[in-house]
Amino acid sequence: MGRFGRAWVAAAALAAVALLCVYVGLYGSVAGSWIAHAVELAASAFAWCAGRRRPAPTRRAVTFLALGLFAYFLADVSWWVQREMGSGLEVAPSDVLYLCSYAALALGVWRLAGSRTCSRDERLANWIDSAAVLGAGLTLAWALSLASSSSGADLPAGTRLVWSLYPALDALLVLVGVRLLTQGALGRWYAVCFTVGAGLWLLGDLGYLLGADASVMSLPLDTGWMLGAVLMALLSLSPVSPMAEVDATRAAVPRGLGRLALPLGSLVVPAGMEAVNDVSGAEDTPGLLLVTTVALTALVFARAALLVRGEAAARAGLVSQQRYSAALAAHSSDAVVVLSRDGRLLSDPAGLPALFQLDGTQDLEAGDLVRALGLSADEAHVMFRRALQAAGEVVDAELTCVRGGVSFWIGVRLADLTDNPDVGGIVVHVTDITDRKRAEEALAHQAFHDDLTGLANRALFADRVDQALRRGARGQGQPAVVFIDLDGFKGVNDTLGHPAGDSLLRQVAARLRSVVRADDTVARLGGDEFAVLVEQSGSGPDEAVATAERVLAALAAPVVLDGQSVTVSGSVGIAVGDADATSDTLLGDADIAMYAAKVAGRGRSVVFDSAMRDSAVAARELEQELQGALAADEFRLVYQPVVDLADGAVTGFEALLRWDSRALGAVSPDRFVPVAEASGLIEDIGAWVLREACAAAADWRAEHGRDVTMAVNVSAVQLTSPHLVEHITEALALSGLPASALVLEVTETALVADPDRASECLAALRALGLRLALDDFGTGYSSLAHLRQFTVDVLKIDRSFVATIGEDGVLPPIVRGMIDLGRTLGLEIVAEGVETEVQRRLLVDGRCDLAQGYLFARPLEPADASLLLLASTARTGA
Q: Does residue 592 sit in helix, strand or coil?
A: helix
CB under 8 A, 24+ apart: contacts of 459-462: 460/521, 460/523, 461/521, 461/523, 461/525, 461/531, 461/533, 461/583, 461/587, 462/583, 462/584, 462/587
**Amino acid (one-letter) located at 192:** V
Query: With contact defined as beta carbons under 8 Å apart, do 652 and 708 qualify?
Result: yes
What residues have CB less than 8 Å from 463, skipping those under 6 apart?
A: 448, 583
If we measure between CA atoms, which residue out of 358, 363, 386 comes closest to residue 374?
Answer: 358
Q: Centre a 10 Å sphere on the Cβ of residue 27 and count the other Cβ atoms it contains.
A: 16
CB atoms within 10 A of CB 558: 11
> Is residue 702 classed as helix, strand or coil in its secondary structure?
helix
Beta bridge partners of 642: 652
End-to-end alpha carbon distance in the chain: 119
| Dihedral sign computed on CA atoms, order 746, 764, 527, 679 | positive
Annotated catalytic residue within 535, 549, 832, 837? 832
Rounded to whole angstroms, how far apart are CA atoms 874 and 878? 8
Question: Mapping DSSP to helix (H, G, I), strand (E, B) and coil, where does residue 549 land?
Answer: helix
The DSSP 8-state label assigned to residue 144 in this structure reads: I
**Residue 245 a catalytic site member:** no
Strand partners, 636: 658
Beta-carbon-side half-sphere exposure of residue 832 (alpha carbons within 13 Å): 20
Strand locations in 377-455, DSSP E?
395-403, 406-417, 425-432
Residue 329 one-letter amino acid: A
Whole-angstrom Cα distance, residue 1 to residue 66?
Answer: 21
| Distance of alpha carbon 747 from alpha carbon 723, whole angstroms | 19
CA distances (Å), 470 to each of 466, 473, 812, 820, in order?
6, 5, 62, 65
Q: What is the length of the chain? A: 878
| 8 Å CB contact between 174 and 198 | yes
Cβ neighbors of 507 (< 8 A, separation 6 or more) are 559
CA distance linking residue 654 with residue 771, whole number of Å: 13
Count other Cβ atoms within 10 Å, centred on residue 590: 27
- The sign of the torsion formed by the CA atoms of 137, 143, 147, 148 equals negative
Which helix (H) or strand (E) covers residue 564, if one does? Answer: strand 564-566
DSSP, collapsed to helix, strand or coil, labels residue 242 as helix
- So which residues are the catalytic ones? 832
